[in-house]
Amino acid sequence: MNILVTGGAGFIGSHLSECLLFNGDNVTVLDNLSSGKVSNIPDKCNFILGDINDTELLAKVFEKVDLCYHLAAIPSVQKSIENWIACHNVNLVGTVNIFLASRVRAVPVVYASSAAVYGDTKVLPISETSNINPKSPYGLDKYYCELQAKAVADIYGAKTLGLRFFNVYGPRQDPHSSYSGVISIFVERIKYSKPLDVFGDGYQERDFIFIDDVVRALILAKDNVSNEAKIYNICTGSGCSVNFLIDTLFDVFEKKVAINYLNPRLEDVYKSIGSSKEAQKELGFKATYSLKDGLKALTRSL
């Protein structure tokens, strides 16, 4: 199968591209390298340096692919607040461009949504039918992407499937990037014996999911794309406080560093724990890595 991966030079996209190549697919990576790295792209990929807002380029690329994984984004709540319009143009407008390009040859699209669409939901665990209440432009744009997927399906019969990723971590997540997750930052700081900055009391909880599980979910998703514009949570179903995460990291590294507790950030959600029951039932997906196993795998890659 000829598969397009937008954002394939990034963290999740590069791992997915590796897996697709291993499975025997032909992979084309489309990335503008705004946050991804050429060094992340597997050698056997066909790499196109380009942007998802270049509609002429997308039209040409979609002439030659059978499936698209759309992962290109500016995946940062803080960035979406600081650079509202620029992030909107990538995260929403760029996604609409992908959907419209895909409809010409009816190319199925598996795209990345986010748990950020739920905002600070009080009822846990969060299911796909939970209230949608994004607290950031990033979360709002991701939700609008889901609505656009439904609109394109209703109007053109386009086939899409959205995955609401919770907190993904693993090798190649750049701790120096403004898009990086807390785990990649903490791992580097412990490695170099630097203190950890915690925004809030440390009892805020997240559903951390290892990259290998996310890639497996993406692979399973490609056989379930339809014109129903379905959406699934991709998570472990287990919450982990930041304080517990730190204790686990200290255990894995067999060392401790100082912790600085700072004022909470206004845009941060206090608890985000998902339910993956629908993904288990309809995609056959269930996360297999425990937090400790995932952290061990991450530290082995350093």
Whole-angstrom Cα distance, residue 200 to residue 218?
A: 33
Which listed residue (69, 111, 138, 179) is catalytic? 138
Q: Is residue 279 part of a domain?
A: no
Amino acid at 152: V
Q: Is residue 278 part of a domain?
A: no
Amino acid at 190: I
Residue 203's CATH number: 3.90.25.10
Report how far Cα 264 is from the mean position of its chain's Cα atoms: 23
User: What are the Cα distances from residue 157, in Å, to 27, 64, 109, 153?
Assistant: 25, 20, 12, 4
pTM for the full predicted model: 0.96
For residue range 29-62, list pLDDT tens digits in order.
Answer: 999 999 999 999 999 999 999 999 999 999 999 9
- pLDDT computed for residue 148 by the predictor: 98
Question: Domain check: are 33 and 64 in the same one?
Answer: yes
For residue range 171-230, list pLDDT tens digits in order.
Answer: 999 887 655 689 999 999 999 999 999 999 999 999 999 999 999 999 999 999 999 999
Question: Domain check: are 40 and 113 in the same one?
Answer: yes
Average pLDDT, the chain: 96
Question: Domain check: are 116 and 220 in the same one?
Answer: yes
Question: Domain check: are 125 and 213 in the same one?
Answer: yes
Instruction: Categorize the per-residue pLDDT at 27 as very low, low, confident or very high, splitting at 50, 70 and 90.
Output: very high
Whole-angstrom Cα distance, residue 90 to residue 73?
A: 6
Q: Above pLDDT 70, what percent of the chain? A: 99
How many domains is the chain partitioned into structurally? 2
Q: CA-based angle 272:275:279, to the nearest 5? A: 130
Question: Domain check: are 105 and 153 in the same one?
Answer: yes
How many Cβ atoms are within 10 Å of 20's Cβ, its own excluded? 24
- pLDDT computed for residue 121 by the predictor: 86
Asked if residue 109 lies in contact with residue 148, where contact means CB atoms within 8 angstroms, the answer is no
**Whether residue 138 lies in the annotated active site:** yes
Residues in the chain: 302
- 89-94: long-range contacts, CB 8 A cutoff, minimum separation 24: 89/53, 90/52, 90/53, 91/138, 91/141, 91/142, 91/145, 92/141, 92/144, 92/145, 92/148, 93/53, 94/51, 94/52, 94/53
For residue range 69-89, list pLDDT tens digits in order.
Answer: 999 999 998 899 999 999 999
Which SS3 state, helix, strand or coil, does residue 274 take? strand
Q: Classify residue 126 by its DSSP letter.
A: B
- pLDDT computed for residue 222 by the predictor: 97
Residue 230's CATH number: 3.40.50.720
User: What are the Cα distances from residue 76, in Å, to 80, 144, 286?
Assistant: 6, 16, 26
Question: Domain check: are 230 and 296 in the same one?
Answer: no
Q: Is residue 261 part of a domain?
A: yes
Instruction: Give Dmax over CA atoms of the chain in angstroms.
Output: 57
Is it the case that residue 138 has pLDDT exceeding 60? yes
Question: Domain check: are 42 and 151 in the same one?
Answer: yes
Domain span at residue 264 reads 174-207+238-273+289-300
Q: Is residue 281 part of a domain?
A: no
Q: Is residue 283 part of a domain?
A: no
Question: Domain check: are 66 and 104 in the same one?
Answer: yes
Q: Is residue 107 part of a domain?
A: yes
Q: Is residue 163 part of a domain?
A: yes
Question: Domain check: are 293 and 202 in the same one?
Answer: yes
Q: Is residue 282 part of a domain?
A: no
Question: Domain check: are 261 and 295 in the same one?
Answer: yes
Question: Domain check: are 244 and 268 in the same one?
Answer: yes
**Which tops the pLDDT comparison, 298 or 120?**
298
Upstream peptide bond of 195 is cis (omega within 30 degrees of 0): no
Question: Domain check: are 255 and 125 in the same one?
Answer: no
**What are the structure tokens assigned to 258, written together?**
């100082």
Amino acid at 161: L
